[in-house]
Amino acid sequence: MLIQRLLLITGLAVFANTQAGVPLDRIVAVVNDDVVMLSELENQLRTVKAQIAQARTQAPPDNILERQVLERLIINKLQLQFAANTGIQVDDETLNNTIANIAAENGVSLAQFRDILESDGYSYEMFRENIRNEITIARLKQRQIDNRITITEREINNYIENQESQQGQDEYRLSHILIALPEAPTVAETEQVRAKAEKVIQELEAGTDFQTLAIEVSNSQQALNGGDLGWRKAEEIPSLFTGLVRTMAKGEVSNIIESPSGFHIIELTDIRGEQRENIVTQTKARHILIKPNQLMTDADVRERLDQLRLRILAGEDFGDLARAHSEDTMSAVDGGELNWANPGDLVPKFEQEMENLDDGKISYPFRTRFGWHIIQVMERRQHDNSEDLQRTRAREAIRARKIEEAQQNWLRTLRDEAYVEYRLDEN
């Protein structure tokens, strides 16, 4: 079903608790001045179990998975509290537009999307609040972490020089387990956590699946994904692991790696040769954008664009009509013309429609999150963008690594400074 696929993609649990036999709700954790309810935990557990099953990873016992999922909910509560205390809000207009875009990307109207949710037994209001929370946390992360990351040209140059000294380097796929230390741990706390990490090593040596153990015991943000860090070049791997990874064989598990944040264990799950991309097909196009509003429905906008398309086909100039009608103010002054676009530069739906057009042809109206468009492909060319691509990838890799390290440290501090009382085992 559409909604089930959506839930697996977004990680949102919106199951309705209206079935017969559902027990009375209760508090399973106190988080500062807020609480986590049993219903929240059970809903999120359903989603996580579906994700684990889809990944074909063996899930740990329910009581252990329950603790991991509860910890994720606690972290989310703490972030939402911090956002509220610092004035981050998501207004209804932003929320409605986001949900409308989700519906459009799934090929249905907002009304149809709501009907599908409710007919499948999901709470639309709960879905709305989950989306609101996702946007809130994303804005918080952007303000507290992403916007504070700086990358210098010198860092990019050093990254590229390092790459060039290792031509033909491999990419690595890693899985990661973190047994975290509290902030400013005592000697006794450090030894207790180290003993837990050593026990994990023993279980791995006895043949326990790494991904299953990561779900069960890891304190990292990737725990419920089996600890998967994805494909990375050497420069994109956390500096703590870089030297070690280059010496490991595929399938090998490291010994304990100690850092101020805790004790780490990594598995090199796969290696592949570097994929190089130099020549791309660039497209130059122009478009007319019209947005629905209180006076114009989607149907009205589409009909208006249909009329403009017919006028162009009848001989009127696309540029003149774009200057007169397009609501993309940046491109309208240039007759709707966009810059040369590389693959991936534009939103997927726009790029898909553009790729399906022959040069000079005009699309039928279609919708993206920005509104409704018609486009005309003006020209295509082969372009060597290796230098631009190299610098872009370098900047993205450096930024991703810095954000990952900063987020881990910030969430650790947020968690250590919070008051959390577990009530999961109470009857």
What DSSP string describes 70-96?
A: HHHHHHHHHHHHHHHHTT----HHHHH
Residue 314 burial by Cβ neighbours in a 10 Å radius (0-12, 13-18, 19+) = exposed
**Interval 125-172: pLDDT, tens:** 888 998 999 999 999 999 999 999 999 999 998 888 877 665 556 788
Q: Specify if 189 maps to a domain.
A: yes
Closest residue by Cα to residue 5 from 51, 46, 64: 51
CA–CA gap between residue 122 and residue 113 (Å, rounded): 11
Tokens of 427: 């009857």
CATH code, domain with 286: 3.10.50.40
Q: Do 262 and 293 reside in the same domain of the chain?
A: no
CA–CA gap between residue 115 and residue 9 (Å, rounded): 20
Which are the contacts of 334, defined by CB distance < 8 A and separation ≥ 6?
A: 286, 319
CATH code, domain with 16: 1.10.4030.10
Q: Do 378 and 289 reside in the same domain of the chain?
A: yes
Q: Specify if 411 maps to a domain.
A: no
Contact by Cβ (8 Å): 215, 161: no
Q: Which pLDDT belongs to residue 141?
A: 93
Closest residue by Cα to residue 162 from 100, 101, 78, 246: 246
* Per-residue confidence in pLDDT tens, the chain, 427 aa: 444 445 444 444 444 444 444 457 899 999 999 999 998 898 888 888 888 888 777 778 888 889 999 999 999 999 999 999 999 999 999 999 899 888 888 888 888 888 888 887 778 888 899 899 999 999 999 999 999 999 999 999 888 887 766 555 678 899 999 999 888 889 999 999 999 999 999 999 998 889 988 998 998 888 888 899 888 887 788 888 888 888 888 889 999 999 888 999 999 998 886 555 567 889 999 999 999 998 999 999 999 999 999 999 999 999 999 999 999 999 999 999 999 998 888 999 999 999 999 999 999 999 999 999 999 999 999 887 777 778 888 898 899 889 988 998 899 899 999 999 998 876 5
Q: Specify if 163 maps to a domain.
A: no
Q: Specify if 234 maps to a domain.
A: yes
pTM, two decimals, is 0.57
Domain that includes residue 336, residue range: 280-384
Q: Do 118 and 187 reside in the same domain of the chain?
A: no
Q: Specify if 208 maps to a domain.
A: yes
Q: Specify if 164 maps to a domain.
A: no
CA–CA gap between residue 78 and residue 67 (Å, rounded): 16
Q: Do 9 and 143 reside in the same domain of the chain?
A: yes
Chain mean position to CA 126? 20
Q: Specify if 405 maps to a domain.
A: no
Q: Which pLDDT belongs to residue 242?
A: 81
The count of structural domains within the chain is 3
Q: Do 142 and 6 reside in the same domain of the chain?
A: yes
CA–CA gap between residue 312 and residue 332 (Å, rounded): 16
Q: Do 15 and 143 reside in the same domain of the chain?
A: yes
Q: Do 326 and 224 reside in the same domain of the chain?
A: no
CA atoms lying within 13 Å on the CB side of residue 373? 25
Q: Which pLDDT belongs to residue 3?
A: 46
Q: Do 76 and 35 reside in the same domain of the chain?
A: yes
Buried/exposed 386-424: b ≥16 CB within 10 Å, e otherwise: eeeebeebbeebbeebbbbbbebebbbeebeeeebeeee
CA–CA gap between residue 406 and residue 412 (Å, rounded): 10
Q: Do 130 and 66 reside in the same domain of the chain?
A: yes
Domain end position, chosen among 147, 178, 193: 147
Q: Do 185 and 291 reside in the same domain of the chain?
A: no
Domain end position, chosen among 88, 114, 147: 147
Q: Do 225 and 331 reside in the same domain of the chain?
A: no
Closest residue by Cα to residue 141 from 410, 400, 401: 410
Continuous H helices in 293-381: 298-313, 318-325, 329-332, 348-355
- Give me the amino acid identity at 25: D
Q: Do 244 and 116 reside in the same domain of the chain?
A: no
Q: Specify if 392 maps to a domain.
A: no
Please write down the long-range contacts of 156-160, taking CB distance under 8 Å and 24 or more positions apart: 156/391, 156/394, 156/395, 156/398, 159/235, 159/394, 159/397, 159/398, 160/390, 160/391, 160/394
CA–CA gap between residue 118 and residue 304 (Å, rounded): 33
